[in-house]
Amino acid sequence: MERLTSVEEFRTLQSRVIAALDPTVPTIVIPAGTCGQASGASDLIRVAKRYLLEKRLTDKVRLRITGCHGFCEMEPSVLIEPQKTFYPRVSMRDVSRIIDAAVEGKVIEELLFVDPTTGERIRKQSDIPFFKKQFRLLMERNERVDPRRILDYIESGGYTALAEVLAERDPEWVVSEVKASGLRGRGGAGFPTGIKWEMLAKQPSDKGKFIVCNADEGDPGAYMDRSILEGNPHSIIEGMIIGAFATGATDGIIYVCCEFPLAIKHIGMALEQAYELGLLGENILGAGFSFNMTMVKGAGAFVCGEETAMIHSIEGYTGEPRQRPPFPIQKGINGKPTAINNVETWANIPIIIRDGAKAYASIGTPNNSGTKIFSLVGKVKHTGLVEMPMGTTIGEIVYNVGGGAVGNSEIKAVQTGGPSGGCIPASSFDLPVDYDTLAKFGSIMGSGGMIVMDEDTCMVDVAKYFMNFLKNESCGKCFTCRKGTQRMYELLEDITLGAGTPESIALLEELAYVVKDTTMCGLGQSASNSVLSSLRHFRNEYEQHVVEGKCPSYVCKDLVGVPCQTACPVGTEIWRYIAQIEHKNYVDAYKTIRESNPFPSVCARVCNHPCEDRCKSGTSGGQPINIRALTRFVTDNVDPGVYKPVIEPQFGDKHPQVAVVGGGPAGLTAAHYLSLKGCKVTIFEQESELGGMLLSVIPEYKLPGEVLKSEIASLLNDNITLKYGTVLGRDITVDGLLKDNFDAVFLSFGAHNSSGLQSDIKDIQGVYPLLDYVKSVNLRGENLAIGKVGIIGGSVSAIDAARTAIRSAKAESVTVFYQGTREDMLAAKDEIDAAIEEGVSIETLVSVEEILSQDGKLAGARIVKSRLGDFDSDGRRRLKPIAGSEQKVDLDTLIITASESPDVECLLSNSHLSIDLNADGTIKVDVGTLAASIPGVFAGGDITGQVSVIDAIAAGKRAAESISCYLQGKVYKPSTGIQLPQVFIEPNRSEEDASGQSARVKLPKIDVSERRGNFKEVEISLTPENALKEAGRCLRCDLDFFKCKECQE
Amino acid sequence: MVNFVLNGLPVSVEKGSTILEAAQFYGFPIPTLCHMEGLSPYGACRLCVVEIGEGPRAKLVTSCTYPVEEGLKVRTASERVIKARRMVIELLLASCPQSKTIQDLASAHGVRQQRFRQEYEDCILCGRCIRMCKEQMMAKAIGFRGRGEGRSIGTPFDMKSEQCRQCGGCIYVCPACQLRCTYTEPEKAVCGGCANLTPPCVEKDSFDDMMCYMNPCVACEIKKDL
């Protein structure tokens, strides 16, 4: 290339290059930044080149290898221009097809991007939600340029801004233009660039001046600068030449950290080409202005991103910050005035000159103009580089661009600014992302890292992670930074290991403030941010760690124990019985279950299995163990008689009297355990049978009456007296019971009141509250579902009701109306599937606007369909009604889910005592002891707030312990902390290889044809082979807590 | 001359002085550890922090490195300063409890306990020895190595330095190892360590038996000052 000696020559070159370009020729664009190469872009390039040569397609199609386009998660990707067709995750096999299609102007549908929520295939890159919402000023240029070819950059309009400045403008104009654009430093501090330039321009120029590009990007999880360095190095160089022209700088330095080999290579090439073309060096483009640029490679210290440390590093000393003042602008490299700007800041300069300061300032918000690239990583659907106008809300970035949470876990917070930044809780996601707002909120924008965290992320663990990074990356000069970060790490480690105390949190906070206050540079001053902001927004998590000894996110191993056991409200040693099943020791397995759960057969059928949600096999990416199926297998194959309840009288010869009001799971459990302790228990039940909700609400096809009855019978003994048909408020009162020789009362009569349904709707013939409907079927055997049946709601009981209704002989059709999507429904997926199998139709995204009646009889309902809109700031997708979708459906029966609440009227009638209630009408109890506001009165189960079956059983167990302590005059201290495994069971080595590979077994079901018109149990027990296979899949998390024999010795 | 306000008192000092020098001149005590007259200010120990500025812009800076500015408002013993200083001393005590200098600092500032995991380190990395070696002895035999947790003082690659003249200047200025001459076991107070002129950082093994031979004893001097 010949050296250009005037602006004219440059312009001729540029127009020649542009003219040589035929825009109709399709171009295959393959992004091959570090991220692309890591996912296999180099292979695609190799295959593509070979195919083009083999098929002699080089004149029909062009190939361009560029830097990262931002959607790193979908790489290696291919973009076809000019249509901008986007093919994600392309394999080598498909390259030839894509090239052929591009030549013919066609699109290969099956390789296109699929929207994960709608399932649609999207052709154009700009229609993909990830790109659609972005404002791609810088990233868009990455697509158009091969970073190794300066002519590509010139062809796409590069160096035009420089030519304009050299030919037509003076330095003052450039400075004022940059000032007017409102551009602020993109490195994080947000100092106005124009003002910095003005200050540098005013410095005496006799000794020379420096401008520096700070490309020492080191935040974990952030790589936006790297993408520009690799993808468009000339934009930085052009920005710096313009900067030198404006400020009178004589030397430029790009300080790159050594971890970016590709960036170093591309910058080296770009500098060489720019020198060759006369864009750098003496007398640039004949404008009488000289500027020299070099690249300095850092040695990989995070602290060298700090400007004074960087200056030391450039000078050849250890990268250590020094006191400011004097500021680098006065005394920088070798004592000469120096201005340091971030990569993104420099890359913005040519755009400002090209578009004009006014246009640039109109992007974003006042005082925070322009765009910013964020590196969106963590627990979001789509990760990558996202360029947004400043002032966009966090929610917009996380939900609408990032696509929201991965899996079922909800997004909890975002860490902005990397280790120096802080976390922002999901409740504040409507905050605009700009320098001032984030700083006010205790975080920083930093260079633009954005790490999304969900419920499975422990904030203490996150703070510990960042502190570990900082304690290694602190330069160590300031004693408080070096030792402070070490000590903060130590305290955080103590907390995550369970050795922390409330004093540790106080000390941590005190130390964090001192470290912030007493350190010299930005690293130390912001080192405490992650601790302080997580303490501010998530102090409860810290407290749970030190007070309760639990890690609520199931991250800190020592505070979790075995996840399944910890997740079980009654603490069943699930890992233990799975291991026992594996050893074919079914009797012991049954005993293990029964030891902690008095209702094994019931739970094997109806438990909502919180254990499976926490199973490591599931949370680590696979499918959780089917624990309920294994429980079912054990309870079906072992005679319950093998377990003999442990009788441990605690009252000597005395037998305190305890009244249990309500014979549901909570009441029965409490009665059972109290009777074993030697209490005389009387159960008052208003129905004529025991079982409570288990009997009245859970349909027979899920839990056969026989199973329930025999399980209940096994819990009764001589110490338990039953009183049926006794209604609280009518036949007995709480104060009456206390007077009547009862030493304690346990209230567990559940929530049987369907409130929340307007009486005028309730009165329509054919409309039933859900609870009334299922009760009439379960208790009185009359199925009220007639003709066309509609059910409103998506809860577990709504699906139960639908499946009950379809079994009615008089039901023609059953339809469930739910306003959200199928994924939003609370009912388990396999139950919804079973309902569909049985003939229930599920209408999602439908809301019932009005219930229509005629002469007091139900006629139908008016429904409106809606579609999913954007995410709102809570991370839920807004529902947008579809205009004109209104329609009337004929119905003969309508079952409505209404909120259920305990009928507390009965407590008050005929009673002199007043018991404290919560705002929602449930009884107020102490969470630890379950004691109500009256001494001797305890309550548990639905009556204290709606709970699942296993939670009710847990409440019953806790009540028994608490009541027993109360009767002995002791203070009940609920056990805090988690149970670590105590029993070592040899793993089954022979099947080790097979595990992990196989899929989760499903509980077999009886054929659909056999289900119609009856209430036969649907699920069937596993075969022994399948049970062994499933048990063999268990990862045996308990083994983590045992040392092997060699270690013990 | 530069005019500024020191603890409410309008004062003026020579241009280019540090806040520490000004405070010392006007008789406001500021504790120091890494600072030493004759060596360049470094700002490592953070003990000499003072509060400058007002309102939300108020901040702590090390007085030994901060040059006085016209109109500056300095508080050498505000609540914020005292709180920070005491935490610095607590951290020092947690790392180097055996240093007489640090014990004396703790007692002078009412620090009665330290709440961290106790460590027994020999060095607080204040860098006095390095500056002594470089600036006064013109040897540059020792320097800082590593960063963060792994930072230490010594010769490059722990090899015996050819620049070192074994002058002992580094030991002379060390604030952490001064207990060696006022040790709780008086019979060990004179150990003949003075005969061994190899600086501890150069030959690590001999460090433990090293006893200080300095006269006057720096620790006692500092104690007198407090």
Q: What is the pLDDT of residues A718-763, one digit of tens each?
A: 899 999 988 888 888 888 888 888 999 999 887 766 655 666 777 7
Query: What is the Cα–Cα distance from A1020 to A1004, expressed in whole angstroms?
Result: 5
Interface confidence, given as ipTM, is: 0.84
Q: For position A783, what pLDDT does the model report?
A: 85
- Please give the average per-residue pLDDT across A37-53, as a whole number: 94
Q: For position A911, what pLDDT does the model report?
A: 67
Min CA distance, A472 vs chain B (Å)?
Answer: 5
Query: What is the Cα–Cα distance from A912 to A735, expressed in whole angstroms?
Result: 7
CA-angle at A161, arms to A155 and A164, nearest 5°: 115
Min CA distance, B1 vs chain A (Å)?
Answer: 18
Confidence bin at A847 (pLDDT 50/70/90): confident
Q: For position A756, what pLDDT does the model report?
A: 59
* Domain definitions of chain B by residue range: 1-121, 128-225
- Look at residue B186 and tell me whether its pLDDT is greater than 60: no
Min CA distance, B91 vs chain A (Å)?
Answer: 7
Q: Do B43 and A323 touch (CB under 8 A)?
A: yes
Of B72, B86, B147, B152, which to mutate for an interface test with A (greatest number of A Cβ within 10 Å)?
B147
Task: Output the CA torsion A433→A436→A441→A444 (10° steps).
Answer: 70
| A433 close to A388: Cβ distance less than 8 angstroms | yes
Query: What is the Cα–Cα distance from A879 to A845, expressed in whole angstroms?
Result: 8
Q: Which residues of B touch A521 (CB under 8 A)?
A: none
Query: What is the Cα–Cα distance from B168 to B204, expressed in whole angstroms?
Result: 14
Q: Do B44 and A325 touch (CB under 8 A)?
A: no
A776 in B contact zone (CB under 8 Å): no
Q: For position A899, what pLDDT does the model report?
A: 66
pLDDT per residue over B21-80, tens digit each? 999 999 999 999 999 999 999 999 999 999 999 988 999 999 999 999 999 999 999 999
pLDDT per residue over A398-429, tens digit each? 998 998 888 778 899 999 988 888 999 999 99
Q: Do A323 and B44 touch (CB under 8 A)?
A: no
Range with the lowest mean pLDDT among A59-73, A928-942, A973-987? Answer: A973-987
| B48 close to B62: Cβ distance less than 8 angstroms | yes
- Peptide bond between residue A326 and the one before it cis (omega within 30 degrees of 0): yes
pLDDT per residue over A662-713, tens digit each? 889 999 999 999 999 999 999 999 888 898 888 888 998 999 989 999 999 9
Q: Shortest CB distance from B88 goes to which of A470, A479, A486? A: A479
Q: For position A757, what pLDDT does the model report?
A: 65
Q: For position A910, what pLDDT does the model report?
A: 64
Min CA distance, A320 vs chain B (Å)?
Answer: 9
Q: Does domain B1-121 sit in CATH 3.30.365.10?
A: no
Q: How far is CA A907 from CA A425, A590, A734, A749, in A?
A: 41, 39, 7, 11
pLDDT per residue over B99-153, tens digit each? 778 888 888 898 888 899 988 887 899 999 999 999 999 999 899 988 998 998 8
Helix A574-582 and helix A1024-1032, axial crossing angle in degrees, nearest 10: 120
DSSP annotation string for chain B: -EEEEETTEEEEE-TT-BHHHHHHHHT-----SS--TTS-----S-TTEEEES-GGG-EEEETTTPBP-TT-EEESS-HHHHHHHHHHHHHHHHH-TT-HHHHHHHHHTT-----S-----S-----HHHHIIIIIS-----EEES-GGG-EEESGGGPPPSS-----HHHHH-SSGGGGGS-SSGGGT--SGGG--S-TTTSGGGGTT-----SS-HHHHHHHH-
Domains in chain A, CATH or no CATH each: 24-81+85-123 (3.40.30.10), 150-362 (3.40.50.11540), 369-559 (3.10.20.600), 563-644+979-1041 (1.10.1060), 657-753+902-967 (3.50.50.60), 756-898 (3.50.50.60)
Q: For position B197, what pLDDT does the model report?
A: 39
- Look at residue A316 and tell me whether its pLDDT is greater than 90: yes
Q: For position A655, what pLDDT does the model report?
A: 86
Is the torsion defined by CA of A389, A391, A395, A396 positive or negative? Answer: negative
Backbone dihedral angles phi then psi of residue A1000, each to the nearest 5 degrees: -65, 135
Q: How far is CA A671 from CA A440, A675, A941, B155, in A?
A: 56, 6, 13, 75
Element (H, E) at A390: none
| A632 close to A923: Cβ distance less than 8 angstroms | no
Class (C level, CATH) for B128-225: alpha beta
Q: Shortest CB distance from B95 goes to which of A472, A483, A507? A: A483
Q: Shortest CB distance from A518 goes to which of B69, B84, B126? A: B84
- Look at residue A330 and tell me whether its pLDDT is greater than 70: yes
Q: For position B193, what pLDDT does the model report?
A: 36
Token digits of residue A701: 């096809």
| A26 close to A103: Cβ distance less than 8 angstroms | yes
Token digits of residue B222: 């500092």
CA A354 from centre of chain: 40
- Look at residue A241 and tell me whether its pLDDT is greater than 90: yes
- Please give the average per-residue pLDDT across A558-567, as a whole number: 91
DSSP A823: G
Q: Which residues of B touch A325 (CB under 8 A)?
A: 67, 69
Min CA distance, A462 vs chain B (Å)?
Answer: 19
- Pick from A419, A664, A431: which is nearest to A534 by CA? A419
A473 in B contact zone (CB under 8 Å): yes
pLDDT per residue over A621-655, tens digit each? 788 999 999 999 999 999 988 998 888 888 888 88
- Peptide bond between residue A76 and the one before it cis (omega within 30 degrees of 0): yes
Token digits of residue A548: 């309760």
Query: A364-365 and A368-369: which strand pairing?
Result: antiparallel
- Look at residue B201 and tell me whether its pLDDT is greater than 70: no
- Regarding predicted confidence, which is higher, A200 or A732? A200
Query: What is the Cα–Cα distance from A603 to A612, expressed in whole angstroms?
Result: 13
Confidence bin at A971 (pLDDT 50/70/90): confident
- Look at residue A619 and tell me whether its pLDDT is greater than 60: yes
% of chain A with per-residue pLDDT over 70: 96
Q: Do B115 and A478 touch (CB under 8 A)?
A: no
Q: Which residues of A touch B91 (CB under 8 A)?
A: 479-480, 483-484, 487, 511
Q: Do A514 and B88 touch (CB under 8 A)?
A: yes
pLDDT per residue over B9-25, tens digit each? 999 999 999 999 999 99
Range with the lowest mean pLDDT among A76-80, A859-863, B22-26, B78-82? Answer: A859-863
Q: Which residues of B touch A520 (CB under 8 A)?
A: 43, 62
- In chain B, which residues touch A (CB < 8 A)? 34, 42-46, 49, 59-62, 65-67, 69, 80, 83-84, 87-88, 91-92, 94-95, 115-117, 124-127, 143-144, 146-151
Of B15, B32, B87, which to mutate for an interface test with A (greatest number of A Cβ within 10 Å)?
B87
- Rounded to two decimals, what is the model's pTM? 0.87
- Pick from A905, A890, A973, A904: which is nearest to A939 by CA? A904
- Regarding predicted confidence, which is higher, A211 or A325? A211
% of chain A with per-residue pLDDT over 90: 59
Q: Do B44 and A478 touch (CB under 8 A)?
A: yes
- Please give the average per-residue pLDDT across A875-891, as a whole number: 84
Residues facing A425 on adjacent strands: A413
- Look at residue A980 and tell me whether its pLDDT is greater than 80: yes
Query: What is the Cα–Cα distance from A254 to A236, expressed in whole angstroms?
Result: 9
Q: For position A739, what pLDDT does the model report?
A: 86
Min CA distance, A523 vs chain B (Å)?
Answer: 12
Q: Shortest CB distance from B149 goes to which of A471, A478, A480? A: A471
- Pick from B135, B214, B216, B122: which is nearest to B176 by CA? B122
- Return the residue of A nearest to B42 by Cα: A322
Q: For position A749, what pLDDT does the model report?
A: 83
Query: How many alpha carbons lie under 13 Å from residue A111 in its C-beta half-sphere?
Result: 24
Backbone dihedral angles phi then psi of residue A880, each to the nearest 5 degrees: -115, 120
Q: For position B220, what pLDDT does the model report?
A: 40
Query: What is the Cα–Cα distance from A504 to A546, expressed in whole angstroms?
Result: 9
Q: Shortest CB distance from B124 goes to which of A301, A479, A503? A: A479
Query: What is the Cα–Cα distance from A662 to A772, expressed in whole angstroms?
Result: 18
- Regarding predicted confidence, which is higher, A10 or A875? A10
